[in-house]
Amino acid sequence: MPTTTHSINLSSQGTALKALFTGYLTIVAIGYLMALVQIQFTHGMADGEMGLSIDDIVYSYYGKRSGSTLESKLNGSMKVMAPEHDRLKIINWVHKGANQQVFTESGVRQIFDKNCISCHSPDSGMQIPDFTEFENIAAKAETDTGVSFSALARISHIHLFGIAFIFMFVGLIFSLASGIPKVLKSVVIVMPYIFLFIDIASWWLTKLNPNFAYLVIIGGGAMALSFAFMWIVSIYEMWIMPRIHEDNRDALLDE
Ligand code: HEC
């Protein structure tokens, strides 16, 4: 039997390991796409228009500091729900501090009862705030300051742990690719970690200052780019390269 040298690179591994790597990479890629779809739903609609924009990011993290949800809805999709006079009366009440006593005494409650609670009550079966309870109205009358710090802390740590884990394995598989110059390879492998940090740091920065919203896009985009690069190179070296030529370089020795 001729002796064959077995090099450590993606191309010359057995089918079982390639199948394992490919299965993992495929599911992670689908997961990535799902995450992008979910972003469209959670943040994409924040400015009332489909598609993710800088405004969406500002509204999600920094909030619409110019006013409350109640006011912006009364100037937006809820504008038609009450006559002009009543609508302005609610907005005026919000501007004056949304006081509960004034709410009852000056007739704002009647406006809600007459125009809003047909939909905004548990009886309607709609998944919208229940305006038969004053607290729910008061909550919507507060200035919108975006995501809360506690929610930010929660989503930050989940993303840091989860995404670091994903890039550990994607990077490990990609580190077995041969023929990629070692500097480029190292850069592509650490890039997701750097940009993950920038991305998450920029959520916090955007909460404090809306100008950082661009950094969210840059961080997320650079992370996606390095993911795509590692994914394509790994799949190529496992399944296409072996058909073209034999590979006996050792990927772990930077060959
Ligand atoms: C015909 C049913 C209907 C009536 C009447 C109605 N709403 Fe709404 N409202 C909705 C629906 C559906 C949504 C969710 C979609 C949206 O935000 O546009 C909503 C959303 C809202 C929201 C945003 C809630 C959130 O958590 O984002 C506010 C605030 C609001 N309505 C205020 C009002 C006020 C004030 C009135 C009365 C002047 C009113 N609505 C009357 C159906 C209604």
Q: What is the pLDDT of residues 232-252, one digit of tens each?
A: 999 999 999 989 988 888 888
Ligand 1 near 218 CB (within 6 A):
no
Q: What is the pLDDT of residue 252?
A: 80
Ligand 1 near 82 CB (within 6 A):
yes
Residue nearest to atom 5 of ligand 1 (CA): 116
Residue 70 CA: nearest ligand 1 atom is 29
Q: What is the pLDDT of residue 55?
A: 85
Residue 72 CA: nearest ligand 1 atom is 29
Residue nearest to atom 42 of ligand 1 (CA): 119
Residue nearest to atom 16 of ligand 1 (CA): 77
DSSP 147-201: S-HHHHHHHHHHHHHHHHHHHHHHHHHHHT--SS-HHHHHHHHHHHHHHHHHHHH
Is residue 177 within 8 Å of residue 8, measured between CB atoms? no
Is residue 137 within 8 Å of residue 109, measured between CB atoms? no
Alpha-carbon distance of 89 to 73, in angstroms, equals 14
pLDDT in tens, 47-91: 767 778 888 888 888 887 777 889 988 988 899 999 999 999 999
Distance 78 CA to ligand 1 centre (A): 6
Q: What is the pLDDT of residue 57?
A: 85
pLDDT in tens, 162-184: 999 999 999 999 999 998 898 99
Q: What is the pLDDT of residue 187?
A: 95
pLDDT at 1 over 60: no
Q: What is the mean pLDDT of the chain?
A: 90
Mean pLDDT over 185-208 rounds to: 95
Alpha-carbon distance of 142 to 97, in angstroms, equals 9
Ligand 1 near 240 CB (within 6 A):
no
Distance 59 CA to ligand 1 centre (A): 19
Q: What is the pLDDT of residue 58?
A: 87
